[in-house]
Chains A and B, each alone.
Chain A
């Protein structure tokens, strides 16, 4: 696997997403729940904009000095008994990890959910070399049993209902109880406990690596990351090179932003920071530790106008407010990174050739940009992608070329950005009937010819949002 999930056309994926009623319903209720959680947390803090500002400043400083902080991180990890491997490509990363696993003659590897290991196709590589790989996150484990890709960053198995999960457990593991979530989870606990205790190698991703001390921070609710990092004697962390912060204090701010923006929790049940190998006489934790730092296309984004896309802390807030995601679901993006951030990041990592439709998978309503806790200007970057596709790559049909000229004109004018929703609305006007875009232009048509999606509103986004938030509060109080 790579960033791209498969070869089915966007059109087919979208149709499939839209036909799946359960998925659509699940996606929209999850969006509602996550979004509400985030809003109530933001309101409680009162100074959410200050928090976002701080988050954005920390990310900007870190990325501008990424070579310095990665150097510091690697020095610290070495000091604490670990090995560090810098991998330019997915292949290099996989090869190194396979070698560690082979050297240990490991039969079983337990993993935590991690997007970067998905991105580099680590599971397939390990399985080819003969090791059994067990995903320990409940949602991810369900998908693994069913050989299905994740559809949401936070809740990967969002598209499956409990009957489907029960069937999977029965078919694959001889489960014979009911489809109550509690019983299903208890069964998974029992099965996975065995795997944790018998695994030779543990592999995790990384939410934030702390350059100052060499600690790796993992944020989960289930506690599976603690199991994976406590029990096997060999431990491998795989991190995208940008998942890094200068100090513990910066980590703390970003973790607070992440948990609030992702699910509306103050903190998740488990936040673990582990550093290198276990110390003398300690029993839990690895005695053999490896940190693999992955580039895989990220460095190409540095120094470009898209650099801030690397600020992403994978909270999924942008996904949870996106009207397009709501209609088509995660699989339609044909990328392990769905939603607005996926539409920005996927063409940057994997090129425009296979993904030129993605930047059109947006209503440009700017909800994503407003939601992002580290202030990535997502919708502006989507517009910029469209411009590049039209101007430089000559990849889009005539209809967008005309449309894009309009975008190009106003997108190059800073004042026009401020009026983004208004402009987007004007740009879409020829296809707008009442408040819905019924038949969008070109590739946008692919996203709209089956279902209507809301046109950018007449109000500014902020005004609309405030009103909506008020409504939600009234509902919650009544």
Chain B
């Protein structure tokens, strides 16, 4: 009896704290939504409210009518889809080859891949490489250098290791070569894992910012995150205190409502894939990483 009483207390306290944590996590996102749906003029007059006094879709309407925003969305969408397909292709091909124990030179290749996860040459040498390859201002400069990573290759290889070899042998007897085995047997069997990695790649490509800052100068080729940076941060009040804030209001630099509408639109694709992500990522993140 005593035991269950303390159990109840434990559960209640636990539930309470986790609820608070959940609310703290959600509040900023909720507030972004509120601001984005507020009437711009009304928001400037009343500033913070926890619920919009006057609903308005003006910010969204304005944003979606500007070419630059639509173009940046398009650039990021291209990046996320094409980049993800290429990344999955390269990662799974290499991981599968490395998962075959009979492959000669396998140990050396894996060691060399592991080394790349331990040491990176910094920012400048890759920048010079991209410049020498004439990829500055090309969207491929945001895809090729991050096609895959040592971690992902080793993780996916760990996953392929767990597929029983008898399946491969059966396919071989039916006349498949290695590429056939990979395409017809291994990939279909690893769809959940591919989904997990694919979604990680897609999110990373969608959120590409730093490499775009380095490699893309052409305004028309900028992905969404760089445009967002220009909107949200460059013109923000943080850089110069109140004087800048007044200037901002006068010059009609994006209002808070417009900024937050941009944040919401930029987040929608992530929220759309999120349910799928949730289903698979625990598996994807776990693949080969926890030894039991």
A and B associate: no
Chain A residues close to B by CB (< 8 Å): none
